Amino acid sequence: MKETPEERSRVMRQVKSQDTSPELRVRKLLHGLGYRYRLHRRGLPGTPDIVFPGRRKVIFVHGCFWHGHGCKRGARTPKTNRAYWEGKIGRNRDRHERSCAALAEAGWRVLTVWECEIRDTETLTARLTAFLDGSA
């Protein structure tokens, strides 16, 4: 059964950009590991999801679909309005690349965590601690 434009609009309005489930899981993991952070610093390029001002490091938590990740979920393109979605996801990727470049130029280190990576807590924990404690 095909959705009406009103139904699609209702569904899309429910999509959040902050405090998403993947972001909350990463924040909970970081807090449990003893790290303290700031959220959504608007003064930084791209408004990173998690900010460690003293370390000059930021973490973006990206949904695979919305940012065109190479995994199964991210590689999927909706069948309807294909040109719109390809453009939208492409713009999201371009904006993220510009934000990362601007952050790097300002002396910040950037880590992007993908939604699909959150399932493997052990690997994610190792990656986060290496990023925050090491020079990565």
Has residue 103 been placed in a domain? yes
Does 26 map to a domain?
Answer: yes
CA–CA distance, 31 with 126 (Å, rounded to integer): 14
pLDDT tens for each residue of 56-107: 999 999 988 888 888 888 888 888 888 988 999 999 999 999 999 999 999 9
Segments forming the whole domain that contains residue 82: 17-133
Q: What share of the chain is helix, strand, coil (3-state, %, to 5)?
A: 45, 10, 40
Predicted pLDDT of residue 133: 93
Could you tell me which of 98, 1, 86, 83 has the C-alpha nearest to residue 44? 98
Answer yes or no: is pLDDT of 135 > 70: no
Instruction: Tell me whether residue 8 is in a domain.
Output: no
Do the beta carbons of residue 46 and residue 37 sit within 8 Å?
A: no
Q: Which pLDDT does position 11 carry in this prediction? A: 67
CB 83 within 8 A of CB 105: no
| Domain annotation covers residue 11 | no
Structural domain contains residue 1: no
Residues 1-17 pLDDT 10s: 677 777 767 766 666 66
pLDDT of residue 5: 75
Query: Total structural domains in the chain?
Result: 1
CATH of the domain at 118: 3.40.960.10
Distances (CA, A) of 70 to 25, 26, 90, 121: 21, 20, 13, 20
Axis-axis angle for helices 121-133, 21-32 (nearest 10): 60
Closest among 45, 53, 47, 52 to 17, alpha carbons compared: 47
For residue 68, being part of any structural domain is answered with yes
Q: 129 in a domain, yes or no? A: yes
Using an 8 Å Cβ cutoff, are 73 and 65 in contact?
yes
pLDDT recorded at residue 15: 65
